[in-house]
Amino acid sequence: MRKEEKQEIVQALAEQIKSFGNFYITDTADLTVDKINGIRRKCYEQGIIIQVAKNSLIEKALVEAGIDSEELRSVLKGASTLLFSEVGNAPAKLIKELRKSGDKPVLKAAYIQETAFVGDDQLNALVTLKSKDELVADIIAALQSPAKNVISALQSGGNTISGLVKALEQRG
C-alpha cells in the first residue's frame, strides 16, 4: 500500500471518529467469512458502520482526531475491527447478541462521548448505558409526572383550592 493510500485511510477513519463520537475496537480474528458477513449484515441493519484497519493506521487516526488516549493505543494489538455508531450502546448490544452464538467479537475498548472503556469485562456496563435521547426522555417523564398529578387533581376535585388539596391528599 502506498503512503498516499495509507494517508487517505487515516483521514477517513479520523473523520468517522470525529463525526460519530462513539466507536468500539473489537477482535474478530479467526472468524469465518460467513460469520464476518453475518456481522456486517447485522451492523448495516442497526446503523452501525464496521471498518477493519491496521492498528498503526487506527493509532494515527486517533491522533488525527485529537484523541490522545494511552488506554486505547494499548489495545491495538492483533486484528482490530472498528464499529462506529451514533448511539453509544448500540455496538455493545450487538456484540452481546453475537456472543450468544460464539465467543467473538471480543471487546478490546470503546470510546463513548470522550470516555474510554477498556476490556471485554466492560461489555455489560456499556450495554446498560443510556443514550442521550433516552436520558432526555427520562427527564421529561420525571418533570411531567407532578404536572399530570396537579391537572388530574384539578379535574377530579373541582376547580377550587380546597378540592385540589383534598384530591392531592387522596393520591398520597
- The CA angle 72-80-100, to the nearest 5 degrees, is 105
94 close to 41: Cβ distance less than 8 angstroms: no
76 close to 29: Cβ distance less than 8 angstroms: no
Where does residue 60 fall: left (phi above 0), alpha (psi -120 to 50 degrees), or beta otherwise? alpha
123 contacts: CB under 8 Å, gap ≥ 6: 92, 95, 96, 107
CA-closest candidate to residue 89, choices 54, 59, 127: 127
Q: Which of 68-72, 105-109, 114-118, 157-161 has the weakest average pLDDT?
A: 157-161
Tens-place pLDDT, residues 16-52: 999 998 999 999 999 899 999 999 999 999 999 999 9
Residue 26's DSSP bridge partners are: 81, 107
CA-based end-to-end distance of the chain: 71
In which residue are the cell numbers 448500540 written? 90
Q: Which of 66-75, 94-103, 154-163 has the weakest average pLDDT?
A: 154-163
Tens-place pLDDT, residues 132-150: 777 788 788 777 777 666 6
Task: State pTM to two decimals.
Answer: 0.76
Q: Which three cell numbers mark 78? A: 492483533
In which residue are the cell numbers 482490530 written? 80
Cα separation, 60 vs 157, whole angstroms = 67
CA-closest candidate to residue 105, choices 91, 88, 124: 91
